[in-house]
Amino acid sequence: MRGQASIPLFDNPWMHVSWGREHEIHLHHVDNFRPGNGVRHIRVLLYGPVGAGKSSFITSVSNALRRRVTCEALANAANSSGQSFSKKYLTHRIRKGGKGNYHCLVLNDTMGLEEGHGRGIHTHDIKLAMMGHVKEGYKFNPLAPLSNWDPGYNSSPSLNDRVHVMVCVHNANAPEIKSSILQKLRDIGDTAQKLGVPQLAVLTNIDEACNDTKINLRNVYRSKNLKKKISELHASLGIPESHILPVKNYSHEIQTCSDVDTLILRAVRRMIDLGHDFTDRELR
């Protein structure tokens, strides 16, 4: 375990959470959200280094919204190869209620970023996906990014095809980000900023990165370890600290937990709100 030894917690949390109550409030908001104006859903693109927990986060969102443990997106738990598990551009829709009924939020998984040339997803493919040019099921090729004559290229993307929120997923228990990966993350962030696409970061594995949070998840916003990691990620990527959301992904659990869901649903609520603002601006 890379997590640091316990150090004294802050006396007061730097961000307030209404544990228990917030869970139901956010769940009700997401359940009843409808974007309107011809926008079918809020599309969120997840990206980040290999092993960041993107696929696990998608499954965790599904668990929180469906109130039970699901298997929405397969995840490579061992990740012993150090290579990306996700190879294709896939849209994950979260079922709500009966058959054919889904939440108005879709999550797109991507191949992980890796060091060196010809390994992991090419940043150009993430930029094309952001603009809606990548078709569903496109298989990422680390050696050659998508071109406009490729069958996987969407030449006329609609607002529904485009990404409405970019989310960088980072493992709180990972070593310092390598400079080559950091440069790729910044390159993607710069493009999002130029296009006006809102940006968030999700900090996963907070229970493994902080002993106090592992013991009691409600210590998350009192943890000096996690506050330091959030500040470091802000300094590295330029994403505001208020837009860096710590979560614990579901891994071995056989039933859902209100505290775990509260943090996940906080992140989902922020994605929906920012995405809704973005689509409204684009329709003006």
CATH number at residue 111: 3.40.50.300
Q: Is 30 within a domain?
A: yes
Q: Is 191 within a domain?
A: yes
Q: Is 185 within a domain?
A: yes
Strand partners, 90: 109
* Domain coverage including residue 166: 21-282
pLDDT band of 79, cuts 50, 70, 90: very low
The strands making up 165-171's β-sheet, listed across from edge to edge, are 90-95, 102-109, 42-47, 165-171, 199-204, 244-246
Buried-exposed string 101-135: b where 16+ CB fall within 10 A, e elsewhere: eebbbbbbbbbbbbeeeebbbbbebbbbbbebbbb
Question: Once rounded to an integer, what is the mean pLDDT over residues 155-177?
Answer: 96
3-class SS of residue 57 = helix
Determine the pLDDT at residue 6. Answer: 57
Share of the chain above pLDDT 70, in %: 92
Q: Is 43 within a domain?
A: yes
Residue 39 Cα distances to 91, 162, 188, angstroms: 16, 11, 25
The yes-or-no verdict on residue 78 having pLDDT over 70 is no
Enter the pTM of the model: 0.93
Determine the pLDDT at residue 72. Answer: 63
